[in-house]
Amino acid sequence: MVNLLPPLKESAKELEELLRQRILVLDGAMGTMIQQRNLIAQDFGGPDVEGCNENLVITRPDVIRDIHAEYYRAGADMVETDTFGAMPLVLAEYGLADRALEINEAAARVAREDSRETEGDRLSYLYTASLRAVPLQTLQHSVVFSGRWSEIEGRSSDSSSVYLYNTAELYRGVNANLGLGIASATAEDGQQTDSSQVNALATLVPHPTTTLNLLHQRLHNTRSGGVLPAEVRLDTRASQASVTYRPLSTLYFFFSYRMEHDDRAGDRFLRNYSLSWSPLPDGSLQVLLRFDESYRSELDSLSRIYSPRIRWNITDRWYAELAYERSLFDSALEMTTRDAYTASMRIWF
């Protein structure tokens, strides 16, 4: 039998050894932790990208770094990057499709805090070009070309991609999006990665209070060269349905269910729902109550977070906040509980 997997790096060998010794704990939900920070448009990079959590690794890396640190303090052995929606199709909603690679790289640096990435001189060339066509008021097409070449202390890497986006308003409250793309990247060690993807998204708004999103994705990835003894291929399929319901301006419900399948890990699914209520949305004193629950089948783990908080808006550029958070993590192997109390004050100059 031929082993097609690349030789393990030192960090991977260390992880493998730790897994032999004990159970390792992964972090929890990133989106919920970000929402609890009550960030404003300026934190995300402006009103046009407000709500794009992935862009925070560029505009507010300190926030994401603090969330990683908080999970480590709670007992996590490793953390995931802030890249749940860091794919061109999703980022295109905020006009950031051409920065997908940059955002993913920044998220990895923030999560790892790798000194190799922050020390020494770095030279990068980036290019982006886009074409947009609007043959009908309800139909739009756009093509985005992007690429990057970087060199850090004599080690170079490059990447390029082209994506086609199609958006159509089929009916009032019914929108369809289709994205097709190919990308190629060469790493510092000479490893070549070629990928292609298809993303289909349907958005239904049956009522102003309710939004339904249906997403299907196909990804084909091929790696070769570098330290790989042979070509490695991976095909991934994913389908996701999510519903948001806001019956009142102060009450918000969210539910999502995602199924994934790939050639290595097989089938898995992720279920998440959350609830937030702000009984006093206006005025100088605000109260926010939030609940979030997530289940991951590959880990057979369930996490719950309860978080009430009170904010006092002293001025429009100065606030003080008190918060309590109770986190529960339950799996087939262990159960942990964490309570956290925080007090913060922020002033804009």
- 96 domain-assigned: no
Query: pLDDT for 174-210, tens place per residue?
Result: 999 898 888 888 877 788 888 888 989 899 999 999 9
> Who has greater pLDDT, 253 or 99?
253
The mean pLDDT value for 291-295 works out to 89
Place of tokens 């301006």: 249
Q: For residue 47, give the 3-state DSSP assignment.
A: helix
The neighbouring-strand residues paired with 244 are: 211, 254
CA 171 to chain centre: 30
Give the pLDDT confidence score for residue 89 in this predicted structure. 63
What are the φ/ψ torsions at residue 148 (nearest 5 degrees)? -155, 140
- How far, in Å, are 142, 166, 203, 316 from residue 200 at the CA level? 15, 10, 10, 41
Task: Give the mean pLDDT of 77-87.
Answer: 83
- Long-range pairs of 9-15 with CB within 8 A, sequence gap ≥ 24: 15/78
CA angle 316, 61, 311 (to 5 degrees): 30
pLDDT in tens, 104-156: 888 888 887 643 444 456 677 777 788 889 898 889 888 888 887 878 777 78
Whether residue 333 lies inside any domain: the answer is no
* Burial call 254-286: b when 16+ CB within 10 Å, e when fewer: bebebbbeeeeeeeebbebbbebbbeeeeeeeb
Of 293, 271, 273, 289, nearest in space to 281 by CA? 289
CA 184 to chain centre: 21
Closest CA to 109 of 146, 53, 64: 64
Q: Which residues contact 224 (CB under 8 A, 6 or more apart)?
A: 191, 192, 230, 231, 232
Residue 186 lies in a domain: yes
Does the residue 228 lie in any domain? yes
**Predicted local confidence at residue 11, as pLDDT:** 67
Query: Percent of the chain at pLDDT above 70?
Result: 92
pLDDT tens profile 40-65: 777 788 777 888 889 998 888 888 88
Both tokens assigned to 149: 């070449």
Average pLDDT, the chain: 82
Separation between Cα atoms, residue 238 and residue 240, nearest integer Å = 7
How far apart (Å, rounded) are the C-alpha atoms in residues 338 and 163?
A: 43
- Provide the pLDDT for residue 8: 52
Question: In 3-state terms, what secondary structure has residue 89?
Answer: helix
Q: Give the count of domains, the chain.
A: 1
Residue 164 lies in a domain: yes
Question: Which residue stretches of the chain are H helix?
Answer: 10-21, 30-35, 41-44, 56-59, 61-73, 88-91, 100-112, 115-118
Distance CA 55, CA 172 (A): 30
Tell me the per-residue pLDDT of 195-248, one tens digit each, with 9 for 90 and over.
Answer: 888 989 899 999 999 999 999 989 888 888 877 788 888 888 989 999 999 998
User: Does residue 272 fall inside a structural domain?
Assistant: no
Of 129, 133, 130, 83, residue with least CA distance to 108: 83
161 is a domain residue: yes
Residue 207's pLDDT is what? Answer: 92
Helices and strands counted in the chain (H then E): 8, 13
**Is pLDDT at 25 greater than 70 in this prediction?**
yes
In whole angstroms, give the CA distance from residue 224 to residue 190.
Answer: 9
Round the CA-based radius of gyration of the chain to a whole number and report it.
Answer: 22
In this structure, what are the phi and psi dihedrals at residue 71, rounded to the nearest 5 degrees?
Answer: -65, -35
List the domain range (segments joined by +) for residue 190: 121-236
- This prediction has a pTM of 0.65
pLDDT at 7: 54
Would residue 282 count as lying in a domain?
A: no
